[in-house]
Amino acid sequence: MNENKKQTPLSALGEFGLIRRLTEKIELKNNSSEKGVGDDAAVLSFPDKKIVVTTDLLTEGIHFNLMYVPLKHLGYKAVVVNLSDVYAMNAQPRQITVSIAVSSKFSLEAIEELYSGIHMACEKYGIDLVGGDTTTSMTGLVISITAIGEADAEAIAYRSGAQVNDLVCVSGDLGGAYMGLQLLERENEVFKVNPKEQPQLEGYDYILERQLKPEARKDVIELLNELGVKPTSMIDISDGLSSEILHLCEESQVGCNIYEDKIPMDTQTKLFAQELNINPIVAALNGGEDYELLFTVPLADHDKIKKEFDFTIIGHITEKGNGANLITGSGAAISLQAQGWNPLLKN
Amino acid sequence: MNENKKQTPLSALGEFGLIRRLTEKIELKNNSSEKGVGDDAAVLSFPDKKIVVTTDLLTEGIHFNLMYVPLKHLGYKAVVVNLSDVYAMNAQPRQITVSIAVSSKFSLEAIEELYSGIHMACEKYGIDLVGGDTTTSMTGLVISITAIGEADAEAIAYRSGAQVNDLVCVSGDLGGAYMGLQLLERENEVFKVNPKEQPQLEGYDYILERQLKPEARKDVIELLNELGVKPTSMIDISDGLSSEILHLCEESQVGCNIYEDKIPMDTQTKLFAQELNINPIVAALNGGEDYELLFTVPLADHDKIKKEFDFTIIGHITEKGNGANLITGSGAAISLQAQGWNPLLKN
């Protein structure tokens, strides 16, 4: 698509020139960002707050395929997945550092496209890009992002706080990102066989957006705060519902019953799963990359949660001895398994 | 060397199993580390302090060659280079996050070896490993480390504070790490031609250690504090003296005169440079990876600095119009050029 655009080799700028180019327009927005890019380290200030720190490492060919993921979307998503971890602590992200390693196949214009997505996410979520590293890789693209956030001490929601009888809730709907990936991979296979074939993506805009441009649930944190609900435990759904609920149960030393027919899924997710002969529930349980929030609240908060369109109560916390179960439509209890996205098992 | 040792494939553990294995023995040492590995984010607390954050991304084949860098040394060095950036702010590192991407060629034992070096550096510098990401790469090893430190607001030393007439000082000696790398590369070439040939490393232990197991200058920060000297500006020497002094001058809007015959170099550095017909001063100016500290102090602190064996006054800050110059033994002024290590120019 970019055949006619100018492509500047990175060697024309060098490391410092590239860093200058990518960071020259940054204006720090947060009071906590005292010094951003341009020294040995960024300087931050959070008087009277707790600080949360999370980091992700994304590698080409494992976490993304540049055949069908536009660089701008990739930059945006790389930020969002980190912010999601900060929100999952019931905290507010304030800063990120972005490190990239690129091979010589990337032009300046390609890297600027990646950074335009990064900057767009920073703008949308009110985050400052305060540092990073820009270097070379022998092969593909590597992106490493660290996000820093703040929270009042009493607000922080750990994975370990779920109590017996708490309600298990999720925001939004699940399985869409996974089905979006299946769609992109299918069309990529078609393209490889016949490059002139137009991809068949019509009618699937929702699941495509779930895969290519997910959002972090800043609004969920704000809504919970407005409702006066403090989750007893919380985690973001990056590896599929099964894997995440098992983390909550393990860290909280409890069990749970999750009701299959309560798990929220979009119509497009279900339709495309049927088209591929995939059970949609499998996409929700094991698909991953939805970046919704899974949280538990005391039973006393039932009415506050119930009336919110975007929250779904999918089950409840039990004694540990009960185990972590999926209760099917017919009432059978199936032990949940962590079959989430596990890159190391792919080797 | 490890042919007889058990090699466990990473797929036998999976991502979560590997993380558990690598982090199970961690005990948090710092009061500021409230929650480490095991939630969506680490939770830190620094009441009344400024926070500094720095990050580095290292990729196989670019930043390290596993043909001659032992994994334990690599882990140690990967931590040290980040701590060096924290000390260069006149701050104390407290936490790191460590993300790695590995290909299937790595065994559990290899990754444990890498982490043993990481843990050793944490132990030595009093740092807590509080988070990270463990994932897969299509090809080589990728290591991304973020370090977090703390400092009193008035203590922080930026690159931008150098004043005209300030003294320019360095800790330790320069060029050794670069000559150590030359030695390792020479012996690696010999090994490739004749694998039975024993490497000729005797008598070069100092430059080898400078390359393979550098230390961050925690002691320099402590000494400056004891002396009651607050550097007006500071930077760590990771890319060679030329590049770093140019950063200081640019950020401080000043010039400098650096005296060639004052630049501290070890005898082994000079001898091995002569053996390879390299001008040793080039190794100091452009070699990189020494991780010494370059700093400026007011002229009034001359006597305090002068008596310290480990500090060398190598020049002074001038008006910007003077430029940044190397004054040779014969008194000629040569404009300093940033020919430091620039991975992007290697493409």
Q: How confident is the model at residue A238 (pLDDT cuts 50, 70, 90)?
A: very high
Size of interface A-B (CB pairs under 8 A): 247
**Residues A321-341 pLDDT 10s:** 999 999 999 999 999 987 654
Residues B115 and B260 in one domain: no
Domain assignment present for residue B141? The answer is yes
Residue B253 sits in the same domain as residue B118: no
How far apart CA B208 and CA B201 sit, in angstroms, is 8
* Tens-place pLDDT, residues A67-107: 889 999 999 999 999 999 999 999 999 999 999 999 888 99
Whether residues B192 and B339 fall in one domain: yes
Half-sphere exposure of residue A84: CA atoms within 13 angstroms, side-chain side: 22
> Half-sphere exposure (CA, 13 Å, Cβ side) for B310?
13
Contacts of A233 in chain B (CB under 8 A): none
* Domain of residue B315, residue span: 167-346
Q: Which of A111, A138, A155 is where one domain is finished? A: A155
Which among A43, A56, A251 is the nearest to B38, CB-wise?
A251
Chain A touched by B317 (CB under 8 Å) = no
pLDDT for B339: 66
pLDDT above 60 for B342: no
Question: Using CA atoms, how far apart are residues B164 and B162, in angstroms rounded to an integer?
Answer: 7
Residues A204 and A61 in one domain: no
* ipTM, interface predicted TM-score of the complex: 0.91
The beta-carbon neighbor of A53 closest among B41, B137, B251 is B41
Could you tell me what percent of chain A has a pLDDT over 70? 96
| Same structural domain, B211 and B120 | no
pLDDT tens readout for residues A11-45? 888 878 888 888 888 899 999 999 999 999 999 99
CB within 8 Å of chain B, chain A residues 169-198: none
**Domain edge (last residue) among A98, A127, A155:** A155
**More confident of the two residues B231 and B190:** B231
Whether B2 is in a domain gets the answer no
Q: What would the mean pLDDT of B191-214 be, rounded to a whole number?
A: 89
Both B222 and B330 in one domain: the answer is: yes
Radius of gyration of chain B (CA): 21
pLDDT tens for residues A245-297? 999 999 999 999 999 999 999 999 999 999 999 999 999 999 999 999 999 99
Q: Where are the alpha helices (DSSP H) in chain B?
A: 14-23, 71-87, 108-125, 176-193, 205-212, 218-227, 241-252, 267-275, 280-286, 302-306
Question: For residue range B107-150, what is the model confidence (pLDDT) as tens digits?
Answer: 999 999 999 999 999 999 999 999 999 999 987 899 999 999 99
What's the whole-number mean pLDDT along residues A156-185? 97
**In terms of domains, do B104 and B235 share one?**
no
- Judged against a pLDDT cut of 60, whether residue B340 lies above it is answered with no
Q: Judging by DSSP bridges, how do beta strands A333-335 and B50-59 pair with one another?
A: unpaired
Residue type, B261: D
* Nearest residue, CB atoms, A39 vs list B132, B158, B343: B158
Q: Which of residues 28-67 of B touch A (CB under 8 A)?
A: 34-35, 38-48, 50-63
- The answer to whether residues B32 and B87 belong to one domain is yes
Same domain, A47 and A90: yes
Q: Between chains, do B159 and A40 touch, taking CB under 8 Å as contact? A: yes
Q: State mean pLDDT over B86-112.
A: 95
Task: Decide if B3 is inside a domain.
Answer: no
CB < 8 Å from A in window 205-264 of B: 234-236, 251
Nearest by CB to residue A89, choosing from B41, B61, B132, is B41
Structure tokens that stand for B253 in this block: 């809007």
Residue A346, pLDDT score: 39
Domain check: are A133 and A187 in the same one? no
| Angle (CA) A239 A64 B131, round 5° | 50
Q: For residue B335, is pLDDT > 90?
A: yes
> Which secondary-structure segment (H or E) carries B145?
strand B142-151
A138: CATH: 3.30.1330.10
Residue at B162 is within a domain: no
Last residue of a domain, one of A137, A155, A173: A155
With an 8 Å Cβ cutoff, is B134 touching chain A? Answer: yes
SS3 A30: coil
Phi, psi dihedral angles at B255 (to 5 degrees): -115, -175
Residues A261 and A134 in one domain: no
Domain count, chain A: 2
* pLDDT at res. A339: 65
Confidence check: pLDDT of B66 > 50:
yes
Q: What is the CATH number of the domain that holds B321?
A: 3.90.650.10
* Ranges assigned E (strand) in chain A: 33-35, 42-45, 50-59, 92-102, 128-136, 142-151, 167-171, 233-237, 255-259, 292-297, 311-318, 324-327, 333-335
A118 and A182 co-located in one domain: no
- Give the burial class of B97: count Cβ atoms within 10 A of its Cβ; 0-12 exposed, 13-18 middle, 19 or more buried: buried
Residue B5 lies inside a defined structural domain of this protein? no
